[in-house]
Amino acid sequence: MSIKVTLNCQVQENRIDDLLPFLNDNLGRVRGFLGCRCVSVFFDQDNNELLLDEEWLSASHHQKYIEFISANGVMENLVSFLQGPPVVKYFNEVDV
């Protein structure tokens, strides 16, 4: 069973054009990380909000990835485009 992970990112004013090449360069590594099933990117232009919509095998797989990018500087680079750190949320699928 997999888990849905969302990262809500409030992009700094006029920084989306700088952020997109960074994401383009790095999303392949996210998608190839152990436990990642898929990543989609959405942008709300009216609110300058980026949503990373991800599916992982488990929350612990995602947390290992966050630890990895925190240690190698990728998270710091990502946050440099944002007003603050991403808001990370984990969702389990509910059978209804």
Domain range summary for the chain, segments of one domain joined by +? 3-90
95 vs 35: CA distance, rounded Å: 22
Q: Is the Cβ–Cβ distance between 8 and 86 less than 8 Å?
A: yes
* Digitized pLDDT (tens) for each residue of the chain, 96 residues in all: 799 999 999 999 999 999 999 999 999 999 999 999 999 999 999 999 999 999 999 999 999 999 999 999 999 999 999 999 999 999 999 989
Model confidence pLDDT, tens digit, residues 60-82 = 999 999 999 999 999 999 999 99
Element (H, E) at 5: strand 3-10
- Residue 1: predicted pLDDT: 78
63, two tokens = 């947390």
Q: Between 3.40.50.300, 3.40.50.970, 3.65.10.10, 3.30.70.100, what CATH number should domain 3-90 receive?
A: 3.30.70.100
Q: What is the pTM of this model?
A: 0.92
Element (H, E) at 38: strand 36-44
